Chain A
């Protein structure tokens, strides 16, 4: 019984390692592109009703 548990734990650790690496690779290929305004602008003319 003990041997079965140890193997299961080892498998679990290996699986976590794979998921961890997968998550790391995903993060490395995640890029957030941000575009500043091309020129100075006043408040954008979006419809915000009366707002606050």
Chain B
């Protein structure tokens, strides 16, 4: 277990369950003591004295913590290893080459569905045939599952229901390849947009449809640099890295963004029927993959044409509840400690806007603000 106090609460990471809980500080202390072998009786006696409550009430509380927090975490969840039998195709009808910095990726697909999951967001990186290949990705379907092989090593396979995990793993393998880091070298990947200004970055979070990507595109058009859209990798030095995918722009945002990006009007449109999404992709400008940035703040954003502009600091424990379920966080204890230390020092804001200029000005102020 790892624990961190944040404001008036404590966050406890349960290692075997890879789960975080937000609790009162006393509850966290009891949890740690129970998991270290302290007896229920001893803890109860001390709690009774501290809170001046009846013994039975104190014991009830301690037993509840034992039952609901400590006991479920005793045993590591064993993932049932299942043998993946598959047959790799002899040929791949669809072949793409992508250049990211000076690194060349060859990616092969067997059908248009697989191609549609990956190519649109990387289309701006496509190059013609290349004899020099640094990494070789292969995507194919067997028994209704989509397989990913990288440099002849099977990564995993996914059913249609969880195909967004295939896309995520594909992106992660791209990131690992560009930066020459294994999965263990990363603190987490956040479902966010990220921008850079001078030497810092800000992560923009929020539910799908709240305006993360559109806000990112607006900020990029107004002097800020895009680091990543939808997939933000942060390494185990808490450094925010660039991700080369295009910025996904929904149809409703075209009118707002076309004045800044007239090329959007003629850009290819992708209709993801399964997800009921129609998107175009805007290439990020001037990404420098040699640079990564410390994070200045988290902004939970929401665009709504009917709402007044508001910018408010929010408590980190509330922000934590919004951040974690949508994030992959490394389950290596050292990385968890880093994540909690990193997060606890980050200012968090809720920003609601209908006026773009006010949003841009607010983000600028947050960048300029000294912690």
Pair from one complex: yes
What residues make up the interface of A, taking CB atoms closer than 8 Å to B?
21, 24-25, 27-52
**A20 CB → nearest B CB, Å:** 11
Chain A interface SS verdict (over half)? loop
Is B168 an interface residue, CB under 8 A from the partner? yes
A36 and B57 in contact (CB under 8 A), knowing A27-B24, A45-B275, A48-B276? no
Instruction: Tell me the complex Cα distance, A28–B61, Å.
Output: 8
Instruction: Tell me the complex Cα distance, A12–B68, Å.
Output: 35
Is B40 an interface residue, CB under 8 A from the partner? no
Are B324 and A52 in contact (CB-based, < 8 A)? no
A40 and B328 in contact (CB under 8 A), knowing A32-B21, A48-B209? yes
**A52 CB → nearest B CB, Å:** 5
A-B contacts, 23 of them at CB < 8 A, read A25-B57, A29-B65, A30-B24, A31-B22, A33-B21, A34-B19, A34-B21, A35-B20, A36-B328, A37-B328, A38-B328, A39-B168, A39-B169, A39-B328, A40-B169, A40-B328, A41-B168, A42-B167, A42-B168, A42-B231, A48-B209, A50-B278, A52-B253
Nearest A residue to B117, CB-CB = A42
What residues make up the interface of B, taking CB atoms closer than 8 Å to A?
18-24, 26-27, 51-53, 57, 61, 64-65, 68-69, 163-165, 167-169, 171-172, 188-189, 191, 208-211, 214, 230-231, 248, 250-253, 274-278, 303, 320-321, 324-329
Instruction: Tell me the complex Cα distance, A36–B172, Å.
Output: 16
Chain A residues whose CB sits within 8 angstroms of the CB of B325 once the complex forms: 34-37
Are B167 and A41 in contact (CB-based, < 8 A)? yes
Chain B residues whose CB sits within 8 angstroms of the CB of A24 once the complex forms: 51
Identify which of B64, B167, B250 contacts A50 (C-beta below 8 A): B250
Instruction: Tell me the complex Cα distance, A47–B209, Å.
Output: 10
Instruction: Tell me the complex Cα distance, A44–B274, Å.
Output: 12
Are B208 and A48 in contact (CB-based, < 8 A)? yes
Are A29 and B64 in contact (CB-based, < 8 A)? yes
A32 and B23 in contact (CB under 8 A), knowing A42-B230, A52-B250? yes
Instruction: Tell me the complex Cα distance, A31–B14, Å.
Output: 13
Chain A residues whose CB sits within 8 angstroms of the CB of B252 once the complex forms: 50-52
Interface pairs A-B: 9 shortest CB-CB = A51-B209, A42-B167, A40-B168, A41-B168, A48-B209, A34-B324, A32-B22, A40-B172, A34-B20
**A51 CB → nearest B CB, Å:** 3
Are A36 and B22 in contact (CB-based, < 8 A)? no
Chain A residues whose CB sits within 8 angstroms of the CB of B276 once the complex forms: 47-49
Chain A residues whose CB sits within 8 angstroms of the CB of B188 once the complex forms: 36
Identify which of B27, B253, B277 contacts A28 (C-beta below 8 A): B27
**A31 CB → nearest B CB, Å:** 5
Instruction: Tell me the complex Cα distance, A32–B319, Å.
Output: 13
**A45 CB → nearest B CB, Å:** 4
Nearest A residue to B320, CB-CB = A34
Chain A residues whose CB sits within 8 angstroms of the CB of B274 once the complex forms: 45
Are B327 and A42 in contact (CB-based, < 8 A)? no
Identify which of A25, A31, A41 contacts B164 (C-beta below 8 A): A41
Chain A residues whose CB sits within 8 angstroms of the CB of B321 once the complex forms: 32, 34
Are A47 and B275 in contact (CB-based, < 8 A)? yes
Nearest B residue to A37, CB-CB = B328
Instruction: Tell me the complex Cα distance, A33–B23, Å.
Output: 9
Chain A residues whose CB sits within 8 angstroms of the CB of B53 once the complex forms: 21, 25
Task: Name the residue in A33, A35, A38, A42 with the highest tally of chain B Cβ atoms < 10 Å from its Cβ.
Answer: A42
Task: Name the residue in B171, B214, B328 with the highest tally of chain A Cβ atoms < 10 Å from its Cβ.
Answer: B328
Chain A residues whose CB sits within 8 angstroms of the CB of B208 once the complex forms: 43-44, 46, 48, 51
